[in-house]
Structure 1
Amino acid sequence: MPLLSRSHRAALVSSVALATTLTLAACGSGGTSGGGGSGGDAAGDTVQVLASFYPLQFVAERVGGDRVEVSNLTPPAAEPHDLELSPAQARTVGTADLVVYQSGFQAAVDEAVEGRQPAHVVDASEAAGLEEHPGESGTGASTTGTEDAHDDHADDGHDHSSHGGLDPHFWLDPTRLVPVAEQVAAELTAIDPDGADEYAANLAELTADLTALDTEYSEGLASCASPYLVTSHEAFGYLAERYGLEQIGITGIDPEAEPSPARLREVADVIRDHGITTIFFETLTSPKVTQTLAQDVGVQAAVLDPLEGLSDTGSDYLDVMRNNLEALRTGLTCA
């Protein structure tokens, strides 16, 4: 073989390095970060699952286990209500093996599902048993300050139309995640029959964890000085309904809505009349209005996570729900 000149050897080394870099990049392009799944499978047999926001990602990961690769369309710490999809993300809706989403919650995802027609879909809205106003007017004591709540919310831009008139935040009642998980297991089994036993076992384990969490909530909130759950927006109705509380939202379903002065006065009256000591703000929206109201009426403000997204990657749904339970027990003065 003829000897290569120094310049030819340098060119050859550069070409090899570039080829190696491209190969490694191609192998690493199927990650699970928020941009969506690939629809294909570099490993050859991993089921590609696309979830539209965090609680559905959690269910898909727990049920699918090692046999699935789950991508989340909503980036970490982002507000899922406002999600917009890039053309590339919209394409993944059509190429993923399974799409797990909630119709009526994220308009961009609804449009992508309708336009791309994925072969396998789980719509959480159908499984979760959604309601219009869960957790309200449960004790009769709300006649001071909540009977006109929805009229006031309408003035604030409160609008159920994007959710079909239904409260979408079902996942804050852990028992409502179980039928969603059952549908995910059924679809994964249809896609990957060889994994049927594993999916069934994972489903059983997740169901046991959710049942245990439900028991912790039932026992932890069984005896509280106040049943009134005052929140920055009405995201906790299913939780309130499940555990005998009554939600009083400063604003309605829309977390970006601004409360009217009349609504703020109304909620302040409820707080004073019922001796409420804590009102709750959220993790993904500004706490300013809630903290100002708390200061004005002389009560505490505390964080309650609606779990629409996951800010702390070191925790999961179960961890955040248990943190919420402790915040509730403190804020509502539970024995």
Structure 2
Amino acid sequence: MSRFNLFSRRFRFPWLRRSFLPLALIAALAVMSACGKPQAALVNDKINVVTSFYPLYDFASKIGGTHVNAVNVVPAGVEPHDWSPKGRDIQNIKNSQVFVYLGAGFEGWVNDTLESLKTDSKSLVVEAGKGVELIEGTGDAHNHEGEAAHQEEEAHADEAAHKEEAGHDEAAHEEEAHDEHAVDPHVWLSPLNAKKIAENIKNALVQADAAHQADYEANYKKLAADLDALHQEFKTKLAAVPKKEIVVTHQSFGYLAKEYGLVQKPIMGLAPDAEPTSKDLQSVLKFIKDNDVKYIFFEELVSDKLAKTLAQDAGVQTAVLSPLEGLTEEQVQAGDDYVKVMKNNLNSLVKALQ
């Protein structure tokens, strides 16, 4: 096994794979996992809006203002790809006035959950990503035709070599995997897409609580102006940087790259626990060398060991680039939100692309 594979998150706690633990220890672990900031509960005097992950919670809170009690089902510090709803989460969704999820395949649990709620829930269900133009999730997202042609040529060569080495069955499996991850769900990392998502949330709040439509419209207008300003800041500053190539641990910045003319080179795929092969890692090292990349970006909610090991091999530094799938406890305590974290991302990109 490659030493890089040791850092795959799927192997973090191999001893939990089997139920050999004493019941008392299992109970203790359950209590420990429940520690920290209690999850918000539904209330009787406001519109309860349950959201499937952080950006939707942030937008619902800002648009809803004092009329809304927003509940984010994924706790702070938890990566949503690792998360699935528990009994209390299902009850909160069921009993809420509005349930907001992203769609585009991001929440793997949501279809089964919605199916189970069909008969006994009156919650207004909102697909917040509806209407956003989706991009393919395979390969690097960018606007450089030369790089695209180079990658296509490499892909054909790799496919031919793979077929010769492993046979047609494995090639068919590879094609199946391609189809499985054909859409990139990380739409919110473009501020313009975030504005559309916020509009969908605003429309749902108006539908659920028409008596406060004027407030929802005014709050959305303010948020939309902030997102427009954020977009302009990204556009201006990233147009001025001399480099355009970034290396990231997890393929989540395709929409940001497309919007602002960047080249994203991911170490792993759309899921942050996808395991890179030795060939993948060699490709990343070559990309770093060819493009004089100075930083490898990692994210706060995922282990940085792989990024740091690869950075050491390549002789480059590491820095944070948040995919905003959630906030850390420290960010929550500091009062961070979508706009602030995105501005931090912009500062990191400008520094790295000099």
Report the TM-score, using the length of structure 1 for normalisation. Answer: 0.81
Larger Rg: 1
Q: Map of 1:1-335 to 2, 5 A cutoff?
A: 35=39, 37-38=41-42, 41-42=43-44, 44=45, 46-103=46-103, 104-117=105-118, 118-133=122-137, 136-142=141-147, 146-147=151-152, 148=154, 165-311=182-328, 312-313=331-332, 314=334, 315-333=336-354
How far apart are residue 105 of structure 1 and its match?
1.4
Write the letter of the residue equivalent to 1:210. Answer: L
Distance 1:105 1:160, change over 3 A: farther
Secondary structure in 2 matching 1:279: strand
Aligned length: 295
Question: What's the CA shift string for 1:178-229, capped at 9, x where partnerless?
Answer: 1221121111112111101000001100000000000110111012221111
Root mean square deviation, CA, Å: 2.6
The answer to whether the 8 Å contact 1:80/1:309 transfers is: yes
The answer to whether the 8 Å contact 2:128/2:201 transfers is: no
The answer to whether the 8 Å contact 2:249/2:297 transfers is: yes
Question: What's the CA shift string for 1:83-140, capped at 9, x where partnerless?
Answer: 1211221122121100010232122233212211353121123233222138625213
The answer to whether the 8 Å contact 1:47/1:67 transfers is: yes
Secondary structure in 2 matching 1:280: strand
Distance in 2 (alpha carbons) for counterparts of 1:166 and 1:234 = 11
Write the letter of the residue equivalent to 2:112. Answer: E
Q: Which residue of 2 aligns with 1:26?
A: none
Secondary structure in 1 matching 2:99: strand
Distance in 1 (alpha carbons) for counterparts of 2:97 and 2:51 = 11
Write the letter of the residue equivalent to 1:87. Answer: G
Distance in 1 (alpha carbons) for counterparts of 2:339 and 2:90 = 30
How far apart are residue 275 of structure 1 and its match?
1.4
How far apart are residue 259 of structure 1 and its match?
0.9
The answer to whether the 8 Å contact 1:145/1:270 transfers is: no
Greater relative contact order: 1 or 2 (C-alpha under 8 angstroms, separation 6 or more)? 2
Distance in 2 (alpha carbons) for counterparts of 1:100 and 1:248 = 31
Distance in 2 (alpha carbons) for counterparts of 1:190 and 1:73 = 22
| Runs of at least 4 residues off by over 3 Å | 33-37, 143-152, 158-163
Write the letter of the residue equivalent to 1:100. Answer: V
Write the letter of the residue equivalent to 1:301. Answer: T
Distance in 2 (alpha carbons) for counterparts of 1:34 and 1:140 = 49
Distance in 2 (alpha carbons) for counterparts of 1:133 and 1:162 = 10
Report the TM-score, using the length of structure 2 for normalisation. Answer: 0.77
Instruction: Provide structure 1 residue ranges, at least 5 long, that are not aligned to the other structure.
Output: 1-32
Q: Which residue of 1 aligns with 2:10?
A: none
